[in-house]
C-alpha cells in the first residue's frame, strides 16, 4: 500500500515506522515545512493519505485530498465545526474519508462499551456520571478528542446530561470532564457512575502511543478498499 503522510510529528513518525514494518511504502511526507507541496501530489501514486496535523490546517488538507480523489483518514481534533462541510464536499466528489478522534482499536471498543453502559444506566437516576482524562504535558487540547467522544456517548444515551464542561459542573445537566496533564502519560480515560451507595467505573489506559499509530495503519489498510464517508463503527462492524 502506498501511503501519503500529512503531518510528521510524533504520530506521523510512529505511523511511518509501523507502516514500513507491515510492508507498506511511504510515498510522501507533508509537514509544516513543505505544506504547499500537498497541492502537487500525484493522486495516482497514493492509495490512502493519513492526516495528523493541527486544527487550523486539517480542513484544508482534507479538502485537497478529497478534491484530488485521494482516500484519506484523519485523526486531527479541534476542527469539527467544519465537519459537515467536509462531508458534503466528499459526497460531491464521490470521495472516501474517515475521521476518528482516536484510532486505538481498544479505545474504539471502549467507546462502544461507554455508549452501552450509558443506556443501561439511563433508568437509574440516582447515579451521577462524571469523567476524568489524563494525558502527557505535550497535549495541547483540553479536553482531548477522545474525552469529547466519550462525553458525547454519555449525553446521547443518558437523559441526565445535556452538555459537557471541562471543569466542575454548574448545574445537574452538565457532564464534568476533569482533565489532568502529567509527564509522558499516553492517555487514560475513566467514566464513573456514582451514587450514595456505590460506584461503577470503566477505564481505558494506553501503555504506548503505538496503539494509536498502529490503529491508524490498520484502518488505512481497510479504507484503501472502501468508498464513501466511513466511521470506526463501520470498520469494527459494531451494531
Q: Pick the catalytic residue: 29, 82, 136, 139?
A: 139
192 catalytic? Reply is no
Which residues have CB under 8 Å from 150's CB, separation 6+? 110, 111, 114, 131, 189, 191
Angle between helical axes of 105-121 and 145-155 (0-180°, round to 10): 30
Number of alpha carbons in the 13 Å side-chain half-sphere of residue 106: 16
- One DSSP character per residue, 93-132 reads TT-EEEE-S---HHHHHHHHHHHHHHHHHTT-TTPEEEEE
Give, in order, the Cα–Cα distances in Å from 60 to each of 56, 65, 160, 216.
8, 9, 37, 20
DSSP tag of 174:
E
Q: Pick the catalytic residue: 68, 71, 135, 204?
A: 135
139 catalytic? Reply is yes
Q: Which three cell numbers stand for residue 134?
A: 489524563
Q: Determine whether 229 is exposed, middle or buried from the number of CB atoms within 10 Å of its CB (0-12, 13-18, 19+).
A: middle
Give, in order, the Cα–Cα distances in Å from 87 to each of 41, 52, 76, 172, 238.
22, 18, 15, 34, 22
Query: Which are the catalytic amino acids?
Result: 135, 139
Amino acid at each position: 500500500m502506498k501511503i501519503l503522510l500529512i503531518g510528521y510529528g510524533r504520530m506521523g513518525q510512529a505511523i511511518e515506522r509501523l507502516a514500513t514494518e507491515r510492508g507498506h511504502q511511504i510515498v510522501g511526507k507533508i509537514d509544516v515545512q513543505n505544506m504547499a507541496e500537498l497541492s502537487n501530489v500525484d493522486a495516482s501514486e497514493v492509495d490512502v493519505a493519513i492526516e495528523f496535523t493541527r486544527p487550523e490546517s486539517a480542513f484544508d488538507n482534507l479538502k485537497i485530498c478529497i478534491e484530488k480523489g485521494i482516500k484519506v483518514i484523519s485523526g486531527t481534533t479541534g476542527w469539527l465545526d467544519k465537519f459537515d462541510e467536509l462531508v458534503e464536499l466528499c459526497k460531491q466528489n464521490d470521495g472516501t474519508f474517515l475521521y476518528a478522534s482516536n484510532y486505538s482499536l481498544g479505545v474504539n471498543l471502549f467507546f462502544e462499551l461507554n455508549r452501552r453502559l450509558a443506556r443501561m444506566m439511563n433508568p437509574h437516576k440516582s447515579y451521577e456520571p462524571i469523567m476524568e482524562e489524563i494525558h502527557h504535558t505535550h497535549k495541547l487540547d483540553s479536553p482531548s478528542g477522545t474525552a469529547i467522544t466519550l462525553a458525547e456517548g454519555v449525553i446521547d444515551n443518558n437523559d441526565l446530561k445535556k452538555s459537557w464542561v471541562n471543569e466542575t459542573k454548574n448545574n445537574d445537566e452538565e457532564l464534568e470532564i476533569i482533565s489532568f496533564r502529567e509527564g509522558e502519560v499516553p492517555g487514560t480515560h475513566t467514566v464513573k457512575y456514582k451514587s450514595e451507595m456505590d460506584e461503577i467505573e470503566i477505564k481505558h489506559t494506553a501503555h504506548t502511543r503505538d496503539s494509536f499509530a498502529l490503529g491508524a495503519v490498520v484502518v488505512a489498510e481497510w479504507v484503501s478498499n472502501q468508498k464513501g464517508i466511513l466511521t470506526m463503527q463501520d470498520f469494527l462492524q459494531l451494531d
